[in-house]
Structure 1
Amino acid sequence: MFIEHLPSESHTMTALRNELTPMQLAEQADRGEPEKGRWSQQEQLLAAAVDAIRRLEWVLICVNVDKKSKRPDPPEPMRRPGAGPKKTRAQLTEGSANRLFELLQGGAA
């Protein structure tokens, strides 16, 4: 009973959440239970401010780089509590492109 009333950012609550499986974390995120997040609201707001500053810095760089130059990738947002690792986009390799082409041309699977 005492543990339930600890601040959400306490070491004990963080340790308990760190033991959750990704499925349990996803369920908590779906239920919208911010009290089970690893950060306080103040920390969440600070992370949002850091993300905004990084984004503004990226925009400033992009508008001041030559048009022919490669622009940097946009900044990654800070990881938030309960969020799994960023999902990577599938890359189309030459082999998978050829296989896709074969399938589109009526090839057997």
Structure 2
Amino acid sequence: MLLEHLPPESATTTAIRNSISAADLERMSEGARPDLGQWSGVETLLAQVKDEVALLRHVLVAANGGKPGEFQPTPRPGIPPKSAAKQRKGLTDEQRRALDPRLRNQPKEA
């Protein structure tokens, strides 16, 4: 029970993984989806650092007049890519009036 919750980089998990025969390892890996697996804290932090460096380079190129292209964050398990996510829709005028008290007294446009 306690072994299930050890991080993948722990000595115990590594020893168990190293003791599995090649045939068993191949059988267990059939149909596996490592992209859906959990990340350790170190992997998550490394992805954040990688994204920050890429974003910094992106901003630096744009600030110096270059065309940096679109920033693509590192894919993380359980989070669909930006293209697969629903596109965010803008607010209607009615929704804006409901949220912003300054707009409530303005006449409605036809």
TM-score category, normalised to shorter length: 0.3 to 0.5
TM-score by length of 2: 0.44
Q: Which has the larger radius of gyration?
A: 2
Higher normalized contact order (CA 8 Å, seq sep 6+, divided by chain length)? 1
